Amino acid sequence: MALTLPLALYGVPYAYATTVAQTTYMVITNYVIAPFDVASHKIQCTSASDSALHYGSGAPGPAPLNRAWALNSVGDAAVTGENPNGWFIELRSTVNADLFTNAYIICQSPITVAGIGVPEFGSLYVAIALGAVVYFMLSKRFNRRPTISASINP
Protein backbone atom coordinates (compact mmCIF):
# COMPACT_ATOMS: atom_id res chain seq x y z
CA MET A 1 0.00 0.00 0.00
CA ALA A 2 2.76 2.44 0.93
CA LEU A 3 4.55 1.82 -2.36
CA THR A 4 1.46 2.50 -4.46
CA LEU A 5 0.55 5.80 -2.79
CA PRO A 6 3.32 7.90 -4.44
CA LEU A 7 2.53 6.26 -7.78
CA ALA A 8 -1.15 7.11 -7.39
CA LEU A 9 -0.28 10.69 -6.44
CA TYR A 10 2.05 10.88 -9.45
CA GLY A 11 -0.95 10.45 -11.76
CA VAL A 12 -3.09 13.15 -10.13
CA PRO A 13 -1.61 16.10 -12.09
CA TYR A 14 -2.03 14.18 -15.36
CA ALA A 15 -5.64 13.32 -14.56
CA TYR A 16 -6.34 16.93 -13.64
CA ALA A 17 -4.49 18.23 -16.69
CA THR A 18 -6.76 16.27 -19.00
CA THR A 19 -9.73 18.19 -17.60
CA VAL A 20 -8.02 21.60 -17.85
CA ALA A 21 -7.85 23.17 -21.30
CA GLN A 22 -4.32 24.07 -22.28
CA THR A 23 -4.05 27.69 -23.32
CA THR A 24 -3.32 28.17 -27.02
CA TYR A 25 -3.26 31.62 -28.60
CA MET A 26 -2.02 33.48 -31.69
CA VAL A 27 0.34 36.42 -31.99
CA ILE A 28 -0.10 38.36 -35.23
CA THR A 29 2.31 40.93 -36.71
CA ASN A 30 1.15 43.14 -39.57
CA TYR A 31 3.53 43.84 -42.44
CA VAL A 32 3.75 46.54 -45.08
CA ILE A 33 6.21 45.37 -47.71
CA ALA A 34 7.47 47.78 -50.39
CA PRO A 35 7.32 46.58 -54.02
CA PHE A 36 9.77 43.70 -54.62
CA ASP A 37 11.26 44.18 -51.16
CA VAL A 38 11.80 41.94 -48.14
CA ALA A 39 10.35 42.54 -44.65
CA SER A 40 11.25 40.61 -41.52
CA HIS A 41 9.98 40.50 -37.96
CA LYS A 42 10.66 38.65 -34.76
CA ILE A 43 7.37 37.40 -33.33
CA GLN A 44 7.49 36.23 -29.70
CA CYS A 45 4.95 34.57 -27.38
CA THR A 46 3.68 36.79 -24.56
CA SER A 47 5.34 34.75 -21.78
CA ALA A 48 8.90 33.39 -21.71
CA SER A 49 7.64 29.96 -20.56
CA ASP A 50 5.25 29.59 -23.53
CA SER A 51 6.15 27.58 -26.62
CA ALA A 52 5.72 28.73 -30.22
CA LEU A 53 4.35 25.77 -32.15
CA HIS A 54 3.72 26.92 -35.71
CA TYR A 55 4.03 29.98 -37.92
CA GLY A 56 2.28 31.19 -41.05
CA SER A 57 1.51 34.24 -43.13
CA GLY A 58 -1.70 35.85 -44.28
CA ALA A 59 -0.83 36.22 -47.96
CA PRO A 60 1.36 33.31 -49.11
CA GLY A 61 0.81 34.05 -52.83
CA PRO A 62 2.17 37.59 -53.38
CA ALA A 63 4.37 37.43 -50.25
CA PRO A 64 6.06 34.04 -50.11
CA LEU A 65 8.13 33.07 -47.13
CA ASN A 66 11.75 33.95 -47.72
CA ARG A 67 13.15 32.34 -44.54
CA ALA A 68 12.16 31.51 -40.96
CA TRP A 69 13.73 30.07 -37.83
CA ALA A 70 12.73 29.41 -34.23
CA LEU A 71 13.68 31.86 -31.47
CA ASN A 72 14.34 31.29 -27.78
CA SER A 73 12.81 33.49 -25.06
CA VAL A 74 15.61 36.08 -25.41
CA GLY A 75 14.94 36.49 -29.14
CA ASP A 76 18.04 34.69 -30.41
CA ALA A 77 18.00 31.67 -32.71
CA ALA A 78 16.93 28.63 -30.67
CA VAL A 79 19.35 25.73 -30.36
CA THR A 80 18.81 22.10 -29.40
CA GLY A 81 17.20 21.78 -25.97
CA GLU A 82 15.81 25.33 -25.79
CA ASN A 83 12.13 26.19 -25.63
CA PRO A 84 11.04 27.69 -28.99
CA ASN A 85 9.38 30.89 -27.81
CA GLY A 86 8.95 32.68 -31.13
CA TRP A 87 9.81 32.82 -34.82
CA PHE A 88 11.89 35.05 -37.03
CA ILE A 89 9.84 35.37 -40.23
CA GLU A 90 10.92 37.06 -43.42
CA LEU A 91 8.49 37.64 -46.30
CA ARG A 92 9.34 38.75 -49.84
CA SER A 93 7.03 40.85 -52.00
CA THR A 94 6.51 39.69 -55.58
CA VAL A 95 4.16 42.51 -56.66
CA ASN A 96 4.77 46.07 -57.89
CA ALA A 97 2.79 47.75 -55.09
CA ASP A 98 2.83 48.11 -51.33
CA LEU A 99 1.71 44.81 -49.89
CA PHE A 100 -0.28 44.72 -46.66
CA THR A 101 -0.04 41.28 -45.08
CA ASN A 102 0.62 39.62 -41.76
CA ALA A 103 2.53 36.79 -40.17
CA TYR A 104 1.45 34.83 -37.13
CA ILE A 105 2.66 32.27 -34.64
CA ILE A 106 0.64 29.89 -32.50
CA CYS A 107 1.75 29.81 -28.87
CA GLN A 108 0.91 27.31 -26.15
CA SER A 109 1.17 27.79 -22.39
CA PRO A 110 2.32 24.88 -20.22
CA ILE A 111 -0.22 23.13 -18.02
CA THR A 112 0.25 23.92 -14.33
CA VAL A 113 -1.58 22.46 -11.37
CA ALA A 114 -1.59 24.67 -8.27
CA GLY A 115 1.41 26.55 -9.66
CA ILE A 116 3.44 23.38 -10.25
CA GLY A 117 4.15 22.12 -13.77
CA VAL A 118 2.89 18.68 -14.68
CA PRO A 119 5.74 16.29 -13.88
CA GLU A 120 7.79 14.66 -16.58
CA PHE A 121 8.44 10.95 -16.88
CA GLY A 122 11.78 11.26 -15.07
CA SER A 123 9.94 12.12 -11.88
CA LEU A 124 8.25 8.70 -12.00
CA TYR A 125 11.52 7.25 -10.73
CA VAL A 126 11.53 9.82 -7.93
CA ALA A 127 8.00 8.70 -6.98
CA ILE A 128 9.11 5.06 -6.90
CA ALA A 129 12.18 5.91 -4.79
CA LEU A 130 10.07 8.01 -2.43
CA GLY A 131 7.65 5.10 -2.04
CA ALA A 132 10.52 2.74 -1.24
CA VAL A 133 11.90 5.11 1.41
CA VAL A 134 8.47 5.56 3.00
CA TYR A 135 7.90 1.80 2.96
CA PHE A 136 11.31 1.17 4.57
CA MET A 137 10.66 3.76 7.30
CA LEU A 138 7.18 2.40 8.02
CA SER A 139 8.44 -1.17 8.14
CA LYS A 140 11.05 -0.22 10.75
CA ARG A 141 8.54 1.72 12.80
CA PHE A 142 5.73 -0.81 12.74
CA ASN A 143 7.71 -4.01 12.66
CA ARG A 144 5.96 -7.17 13.81
CA ARG A 145 6.65 -8.77 17.13
CA PRO A 146 8.86 -11.80 16.98
CA THR A 147 6.88 -14.94 16.46
CA ILE A 148 6.69 -17.26 19.46
CA SER A 149 6.81 -20.96 18.85
CA ALA A 150 3.78 -22.76 20.04
CA SER A 151 4.50 -25.17 22.82
CA ILE A 152 3.91 -28.77 22.00
CA ASN A 153 1.92 -30.73 24.52
CA PRO A 154 2.98 -34.35 24.91
Return d(Cα 127, Cα 106) in angstroms, integer: 34
User: Is 75 or 134 the better-scoring residue by pLDDT?
Assistant: 75
At 5-18, the pLDDT tens digits run: 655 655 555 555 44
pTM over the 0.85 mark? no
At 44-94, the pLDDT tens digits run: 998 888 888 888 877 666 778 888 999 998 989 999 888 899 999 988 888
* Alpha carbon distances (Å) from 3 to 6, 29, 134: 7, 52, 8
SS3 call for 29: strand
Return d(Cα 82, Cα 34) in angstroms, integer: 34
Query: Which domains are present in the chain?
Result: 1-20+112-142 (no CATH), 22-110 (2.60.120.1330)
